[in-house]
Structure 1
Amino acid sequence: MKKKIAKFSVLPVLGASIFFYSFSTKKALEAQNILISEFSTVGQELFYNVPEAPLITIPEPEVIIYPELGKSYLAFKEALGFKESGGDYKIINEFGYMGKYQFGRGTLKMIGIRDANLFLNNPDLQEAAFYANASRNKWILKRDIERFKDKEINGIKITESGILAAAHLAGAGNVKKYLRSGGANSFSDGFGTSIKHYFKKFAGYDTSFVVPDKKAKVKFPSAV
C-alpha cells in the first residue's frame, strides 16, 4: 500500500513542474519578442551614408646619394685612414701609434700637437694633423716628386699621392732613400707593411690640394 501512495504522489509534482516550465518558456519568448520589436527595422526607410575612407599616401623611402669620391684628396685620406686603423679615431696600436692615421708622438710634436689625450678625442684635430703632416712631407719631397713622378720603380708607377702615402708610413727620409736607390733601399713598418706597397696602393690620387709648407703646423685651438 505504501508503494502505491509513493507512486501516485509523484504525478502532481511532475505536472506542476511541466506547467511551470511551460509558463517560464512562454514568458521568455514574450520578452524576446518585445526586444525584437523594439529593434525591428520593418517598415522603416533606411539610409546608409558611409563616408569614403581618406586616401592614404605612403611616402617613398628616402634615397641617400653619397658623393662619388673618385681619386680626390678626400678619397686619398679616407683610404689611407682606413688602411692605418679602419678609420678609428681613438685606437692606439701596440707600438703606441695613435688615432685614425696612426701618428707617433714625435711626428705630432713636429706639427705642433703635444696633448695626446686631446688628439685622441678630437677627430677634427686629427684631420688637421693629417693635412699638416702631408704638407710638410710634400715640401721635403718636392724635388723627388718632380724627378720621379710618372716613372717606374720595381714595376710600380710613381705618383705624388703614392709618395705622400709612403712618407706617412715611413717618413720622408726613407722615401728619399727608396726613390734615389731605385727601390733597392726599402723599408717596412712593425707589421711588415712595405714602402713599396704604399707606393702601389695609394697611387693616382689627386693631392694637388696639399700645399707644400716647410713649417706646417696645426692651427687648432688648444692643440698644444
Structure 2
Amino acid sequence: MVKNIASYSISTLTICFLLYVSFSSNETVDLSKYSTKGLDLNYTVSLEARDKNLIASNEGFSPFLDKSFVGFKEALAFKESRGDYACVNKFGYLGKYQFGKETLKLIGIHNPEQFLNDPKLQEKAFIANAERNKWILRRDIRNFVGKRINGIVVTESGILAAAHLAGPGSVKKYLRSYGLDNFADGFGTTVYSYMKRFSGYDTSFIKPNRKAKAI
C-alpha cells in the first residue's frame, strides 16, 4: 500500500516538473514546416446544390427567422422571386414580391419603373398591401382562423399570404366555400397551397388599414 502511494506521488511530481519546464521555456514552435499547399480548402456549397436543396424543401425559406414576421415576408419573397428586387416574370409581375401594376396603383404607386429600382419602396409596398388586405379580410380572419379547411388549420399568415398571391376577393371565396373555390394563378399555384405553406407565422405586426399607401 505504502509502495503504491509512493509510486503515485513520484508520478505526480514528475508530471508537474515536465509541465513547469514546458511552460517556462522561451522556445517558440517552428511552424515553417507546416503548410496547407495542395489542400482543397474551398468548402463553399455550389449555387446549384444549394438551390436544389431549397427547392426540394417543403418548408418556407426563412433561415434563422423561424415564424417571425420577417421570416414570413422573406419566405414569401423567396417563393415569389427568390428575393430578387429586379425580377419581372413573364406575366409582368414586378419585384421581390411580384406585384401587379393594378395592385401597385391601389397602394399609391403609379411608376412601375421607379418601383422596380427602389428596394425600400418595394418593402413599403409589401407592408401597405398586407395592411390593406388585412382590413378587407378582417371578418374572415375573425371567423375562420383556427378552423380546418381541406385538411389544414387556417391561420392569419396563411390568409395574408394567399391574399398576396390571389387577391383578397379570391381568398374570401376560398374560405366561404370551405375550400371548393380554389383559385390558381398563371403558374398553377393555388390559394390552398399558400394557406398551407405560409401557415403559423406571426403577422400581428400588420395592422388593418383600409387606406394603406406605400407613398
How does the TM-score come out when normalised to structure 2?
0.71
Q: CA deviation at 1:70?
A: 1.3
The equivalent of 1:176 in structure 2 is 172
Instruction: Tell me which residue corresponds to 2:8.
Output: none
- In structure 2, the partner of 1:202 is 198
Residue matched to 1:216: 212
Do residues 149 (structure 1) and 148 (structure 2) align? no
- Cα offset for 1:88? 0.6
- State which of 45, 65, 80 in structure 2 corresponds to 1:69: 65
Which of the numbers 93, 97, 105 marks the counterpart of 1:97?
A: 93
Partner of 1:86: 82
Instruction: Compute the TM-score of the two structures, normalised by the length of structure 1.
Output: 0.68
SS at match of 1:94: coil
Q: Which runs of 5 or more residues in structure 2 are unaligned? A: 1-26, 32-62
Shift of 1:71: 0.4
Residue in structure 1 matched with residue 11 of structure 2 by the alignment = none
User: Which amino acid is 2:131 matched to?
Assistant: S
Following TM superposition, by how much is the alpha carbon of 1:182 offset from its aligned partner in structure 2, in angstroms?
0.7
Q: For the aligned residues, what is the CA RMSD?
A: 1.8
Q: How does 1:1-224 map to 2 (within 5 A)?
A: 68-219=64-215
Q: Which amino acid aligns with 2:160?
A: L
Shift in Å, 1:68: 3.1
After TM superposition, give the deviation of residue 103 of structure 1 in Å: 0.2
The whole-number CA distance in structure 1 between the counterparts of 2:105 and 2:111 is 9
Distance 1:165 1:124 in 2: 20
**Percent identity at matched positions?**
65
Deviation readout 1:135-154 (Å, 9 max, x if unpaired):
00000000000100011001
